[in-house]
Structure 1
């Protein structure tokens, strides 16, 4: 009887010991998991929510928000181009005050937002190319911006020369060859802007909204210029191609990511194009542009940029 009691006591002790060991083991697992979670929470989290990682599931609420915002704004850009033929209320001469305000906004976007950003990109690029063949060039980013400006200047001159050619039946309309070259350039231009809508770095949703506002009004100005130069052929083909270019660029941006240097070069090219396209519309004397409206657009948009 005594032996049986002793055996039962020892058996209970063994069970208790096994239970304690199990609890201890589980507690160690829990403490280990807590340590991992604390370490993960202490790690710096990249706040670049505007970048949508290709091929990855969007798990954060911020990622979903930027994705849907970019899609809405891409559709907005596309609608601006598609509806361009119906914006007859925007007069060329005397120039509509809205177009002058739009030009001021676009210029402010370039000089207050884009150029300072390009300066930081230039510093990164200089470091990247320090030991390469291109290290002798000091201002790579600004050279790309200059190339963008020169390219669109050459296109404008080609359009003007084409209009003066006696062979054309309509002196106010550029030739079809020039039209397709012109549209091809703006197709690339729009595709880049659509891509940057997804891959540009935004500090907040307001940053993306201001990007949309600045380039949206810029597109309105571009559409008026292209319709003036190419008339019916632009309404038939041009506006549809530019509509598709925005959506194509956005779609590519969702699934493809370039490195920061490539994105900075695209931004520089766009900056040069914006400056030329704005100035060519505002400077000609016959347009009777409104300096007050231009200043209002530039000053107002600058104030908004400084507030965010």
Structure 2
């Protein structure tokens, strides 16, 4: 696979153009998600339904199989259990589910949004963005494959950003979106310049996979009043078929 490259950092680090483009796209999505959605001729409900369909497909055709492969690698290392990473994934899911429920309770106590808890939730999702970005940029996925899977992650970032905006649009626009973008920058920087060893990378991937599964199912499956089922179904089936075709054709 041909990939464009250029060298930086005294020739010791190689930064790929696809990595730079994905980083820029993620920042644009994070900073201007709501403007992109509101200005789209598709409509907010259809846009979010399609994004949700792609995200659900991404979880089942990429995240879960990748987590299984990582667990197999852990088993080869001689660990006593055969489910270490699945447990870490469960911890990630429970952590962000707990944050979600705490946000719901906080919003019921305040007439306008979640009060100060909004910043706690933003902090958790800044870390969430950081870990996802780190996994994307520290992995050995390159070129077309990196861009293809990266687009699904970008749409997920857009849906999460829109959800944060709905909870407190003023705080989100004023500072929240910049904190989420900062998480992406930190994850990008660590992933490119200081990647962890494979063992640690597997641990991070397991935790954030569980968190992503929770957020996709909780935040991106469109509610009955906001759903456009045909668009959601089209996004899920279309992305799944395209992923399977590309896996077969390129032997990903």
The CA distance in 2 between the partners of 1:142 and 1:290, in whole Å, is 32
Answer yes or no: is 1:179 the counterpart of 2:118: yes
In structure 2, list runs of 5 or more residues that go unmatched.
247-252
User: Matched residues in 1 for 2:39 and 2:206: separation?
Assistant: 29
- Distance, in Å, in 2 between the alignment partners of 1:284 and 1:99 is 7
Report Cα offsets for 1:12-41 as digits up to 9, x if no partner: xxxxxxxxxxxxxxxxxxxxxxxxxxxxxx
Cα deviation, residue 115, structure 1: 1.4
Which residue among 66, 80, 84 is the counterpart of 1:140?
84
CA contact (8 A) 1:227 1:234 kept: yes
RMSD, matched Cα: 2.8
Equivalent in 131, 134, 148 of residue 195 of structure 1: 134
- The reply on whether 1:271 has 2:215 as its aligned counterpart is no
Counterpart contact for 2:97–2:214, Cα < 8 Å:
yes
**What does residue 79 of structure 1 align with?**
28
Question: How far is the alpha carbon of 1:286 from its aligned partner?
Answer: 4.7
The answer to whether 1:123 aligns with 2:72 is yes
1:4-43 mapped onto 2 (5 Å cutoff): none
Partner SS state of residue 195, structure 2: coil
Change (3 A) 1:214 1:161: same
* Structure 1 segments of 4+ aligned residues over 4 angstroms from their partners: 52-56, 282-286
Report the Cα offset of residue 192 of structure 1.
Answer: 1.4
Give matches, 1:1-308, under 5 Å.
57=11, 67-87=16-36, 89=38, 96-130=45-79, 135=80, 137-165=81-109, 168-170=110-112, 173-176=113-116, 178-202=117-141, 204-283=142-221, 285-308=223-246
* Structure 1: gaps (5+ residues): 1-46
TM-score, normalised to structure 1, is 0.71
Question: How far, CA to CA, are the matches of 2:192 and 2:38 in structure 1?
Answer: 36
The normalised TM-score by structure 2 is 0.86
Could you report, residue by residue, the CA deviation over 1:243-297 in whole angstroms, capped at 9, with x for unpaired residues? 1211121111222121112222222222222222122235574533122222211
Query: CA offset at residue 161 of structure 1?
Result: 0.5
Contact 1:95 1:287 in 2 (8 A): no
Are residues 53 and 276 of structure 1, via their aligned partners in 2, closer, same or farther at CA, if it must alter by over 3 Å? farther
**What CA distance in whole angstroms lies between the structure 2 residues aligned with 1:126 and 1:71?**
34
Distance 1:54 1:150 in 2: 40
CA distance in structure 1 between the partners assigned to 2:225 and 2:125 by the alignment = 23
- Tell me how far 1:240 sits from its aligned partner: 0.5
